[in-house]
Amino acid sequence: MTPRERLQQLFRERALQFGDFTLASGKKSSYYVNSKKVLFHAEAISLLGDELYEATKDLDFQAIGGLEVGAIPMAAAALTAFHRNGRALEGFFVRKQTKEYGSKERLEGQVKAGDHVVVIDDVLTTGGSMLQAIEAIEALGATVVRAVCICDRLQGAREALAKYDFRPIFTIRDFGIEVVS
């Protein structure tokens, strides 16, 4: 089994749930991909870091991150993989809301105007959560050079993020689920 196949197996076994769910997009679904059940597993997070490295190593960029909460462990995994491969990289995360205390920053990390960044997220339906992160990054004056997610549910994210070189690691079909419109 390849590392990618093992990561896919861990997601299938640990993250995939069936029932009646309302997604962040507001859509109803008979299944849910709860990535947090995988993102805090030692083997899975190491494998994911390697996959994020493979998905972005061809780019010239300074930082990787995305919207809290899912992008936080993903960014840490990617940073670890880049470090193991001898490449310096910054991480960041975007708060859903600007905090009302301290520095009152919405974007936490060392990202500045002119930087090229990769935006990451765990599971995307319409891409709305990733677009929130992109909005904050672009408002800072940084440029998004690629958008990567763990799982694309194939319900509009690809179209919404096309101009950001969108690349999912997996689609929901990789977990044996067919998308019904």
pLDDT tens across 117-171, in order? 999 999 999 999 999 999 999 999 999 999 999 999 999 999 999 999 999 999 9
**Peptide bond connecting 69 to the previous residue in cis, omega within 30 degrees of 0:** yes
Hey, what amino acid is at 87? R
Q: How far is CA 40 from the centre of its chain?
A: 14
Assess if residue 106 is contained within a domain.
yes
pLDDT, position 124:
93
Is the pLDDT assigned to residue 12 strictly greater than 90? yes
pLDDT at 102 over 70: no
Domain hosting 145: range is 3-175
Helix axes 71-84, 42-56, angle to 10 degrees: 70
Residue 67 DSSP SS3:
strand
CB 13 within 8 A of CB 38: no
Residue 133 belongs to some domain of the structure? yes
Mean pLDDT confidence for 2-27: 90
For residues 129 and 95, the answer to whether their CB atoms sit within 8 Å is no
Give first-to-last CA distance, the chain, whole Å.
33
Domain count, the chain: 1
Does position 181 have pLDDT exceeding 60, yes or no?
no
Q: What is the pTM of this model?
A: 0.92
Residues 6+ away with beta carbon under 8 Å from 97: 106
**Predicted confidence (pLDDT) at residue 5 exceeds the cutoff of 90:** yes
pLDDT at 45 over 90: yes
Predicted local confidence at residue 97, as pLDDT = 74
Q: Is position 181 within any domain? A: no
- CATH number for the domain that contains residue 42: 3.40.50.2020
Summary mean pLDDT of the chain:
92
Is 29 within the bounds of a domain?
A: yes
